[in-house]
Amino acid sequence: MTVTRDDLIDFIYAEARMLDEGRYDEWLDLWLPDGHYWMPLDWKQEDPLHVTSLLYEDMFMLKLRVERLNGARTFSQKPKSRCHHVIQRPFVDEMDEAAGRFVTNTNMHYVETRLDEQFLLALTATHELKLVDGRLRIANKRVDLLNCDAAFGNIQLLP
Amino acid sequence: MARYTDNPAAVAALVRGREVHRDVYIDPEVYRLEMKHLFANTWVFVGHDSQTPNKGDYFTTQIGDQPVIMVRHTDNEIKVLYNRCPHKGTKIAIDRTGNTGKFFRCPYHAWSFKTDGCLLAIPLKKGYEGTGLEQSEGAKGMKAVGAVHNYRGFVFARLAEDGISFDEFFGDALSSLDNMVDRSPAGRLEVAGPPLRYMHQCNWKMLVENQTDTCHPMVAHESSAGTAVQIWKELGYSEDDPKPPAMEIIAPFMSPYEFFENMGIRTWPNGHGHTGVHHSIHSNYSAIPGYFEKMCEAYGEEKAKAILDENRHNTVYFPNIMIKGPIQQLRVFIPLAADKTLVESYIYRLVDAPDELTARTAMYNRMINAPTSIVGHDDLEMYERAQEGLLADGMEWVNIQRLYEEDEDFDEERVENGTTERQMRNQFNAWVKFMTASMTEKEAAE
């Protein structure tokens, strides 16, 4: 299978839609087992490990995060939050077809709501994608919030 | 109508042993009095001196509602100044950290001040000739807080000019800070990156009380810690299998009541106290290769073991910080309003210790205390529900009587069952003491 720029862009849009619609099993299935979802705390942060991040989650933690959302005693999700991504057409920054490795850069607005509260985050998502067994998968995802160093209330779902 | 201002008896009556009146959490007047009295009379955490390593380095923060600058002066000492130009009131520094060189220069009219606050120069000074400038407050320069103490890198300040000394205020409670710093083979900590900043729509004291509330983890955090344990089992592992760091951190939150009862709580005078006297949720972390050897080199084996065997859980330093010695974390609960609190969670690197320790500390911070944390989410939910629930009329008192005893004396150090709410009562005892210490009674009203 050859991967086109449109395939990459469609993939990014499809992922955002899965998150908006809460199709988390499908979403987890997009990931390669060694992947990390990284949301830095600091602007242009380089080290995910030895300073604090907002998120730096492996598949175990992502699975836990997603399963928790449906728990009977998940009090902060009674009632449940909803989210909404508005994404700009992704840039394809790297396209190494021989290695099956691709990097996209996507600006988006993320809205999350629960009860009477609603907030907006502006962010840039960087996806490292790999072609494995004919399927595009997420190898790593980095989400840089425009106001990463601001004080936030609960951010409960995933940008 | 003011009910509590200049009325120490009314303030003291908000606390009555087994319970406290809801006004301590919801009343804006009580909040303003806390800022004026409690946060002025106590020693409040400002920052860590590694945040300002070089001369002229500064860090802006607040003590209660007072904007302050912590700065390293030309003599290498840490100064804490009010962040206000004595001229027109402009904040001198607005960025969170920076280096100002040898002096501060106000961006409005270029009045300049040495880094100990002394007035250095005023442009076009002849305009003040013969006007009596030297008698004005402005000519004194930037005002310093009442007193500053740097304890092993941790900088505390008392806003009031006079009051309790640092040593008397903290006493033996400093043993928790000692243990955190001693865990570095060099006996030194360095701040590791910026803090998490988490906004809470609730009173700051709810957060402080929660630090020694050992009856909530297995209930409020069942959704995160309980689900983690469940997933772990579904993956085919048993409880005794070696766990990855994330599981080591989160699984102990589901420990049974008995675990928390046996861990013990110690209280010290002036509102300080800690959970985890005998063991804690931090006791069973895997050893990091090379660390113990470094500690033995630095301290000798016996002392190294003693330092590392002390696994205190949460130590509350009244009024508004908590530290975790075994993972080098400090959380500061910054009051912004009666119903609004900013929580900043810092982590520190143990100088000369392996980086893996810092990695575990950073993981703990983001997993448990971030605005994106699945553990933090349920805590915040509880605080905010309480803040709203307290508005319910007809029930005006909040219960803090678990394992209450008659005639509790908070001036003595005590070790009790780990599920006692004695530390909450200890905090409120200190709250009354430092709220009313500088309060004068109103002249008899006509």
- B422: number of Cβ within 10 Å: 26
Q: What are the tens digits of pLDDT across the range B164-182? A: 999 999 999 999 999 999 9
- pTM, two decimals, is 0.97
| Among chain A residues, CA nearest to B348 | A51
Q: Residues B352-367: what's their mean pLDDT?
A: 98
Cβ atoms within 10 Å of B54's Cβ, excluding its own: 8
Name which of B285, B289, B288 is nearest B248 in CA terms. Answer: B285
Residues of chain A by 3-state class (helix, strand, coil), percent to 5: 25, 45, 35
Chain B nearest CA to A78, separation (Å): 10
Chain segment A71-93, per-residue pLDDT in tens? 889 999 999 999 999 999 999 99
Residues of B whose CB is below 8 A from A53? 362, 366, 370
Interface test with B, best of A36, A58, A66, A75 (most B CBs within 10 A): A75
pLDDT, tens digit (0-9, with 9 covering 90-100), for B292-309: 999 999 999 999 999 999
CA B224 vs CA A78, A154, B244: distances in Å: 14, 15, 16
Residue-wise burial string across B29-48, b where 16 or more C-beta atoms lie within 10 A, e elsewhere = ebbbbbbbbbbbbbbbbbbb
Structure tokens at B341: 């609190």
Q: Is the pLDDT of residue B238 over 50?
A: yes
Residues of chain A contacting residue B248, judged by C-beta atoms under 8 Å apart: none
Q: Do B316 and B212 contact (CB within 8 A), yes or no?
A: yes
Q: Is the pLDDT of residue A147 over 90?
A: yes
Which chain A residue's Cα is nearest to B370? A54
Closest C-alpha to A50, from A37, A59, A41, A58: A41
Which structure tokens are listed for B72?
Answer: 């390293």
Question: Bridge-partner residues for A104, per DSSP?
Answer: A92, A127
Q: Is A49 within 8 Å of chain B by CB?
A: yes
- State how far the Cα of B138 lies from the Cα of B85, in Å rounded to an integer: 8
What's the average model confidence in pLDDT over B378-403?
A: 97
Bridge partners (DSSP) of residue A37 are A57, A141
B370 vs A: CB within 8 A: yes
A156 at interface of B, judged by CB pairs closer than 8 A: yes
ipTM field = 0.97
pLDDT tens-place string over residues A10-64? 999 999 999 999 999 999 999 999 999 999 999 999 999 999 999 999 999 999 9
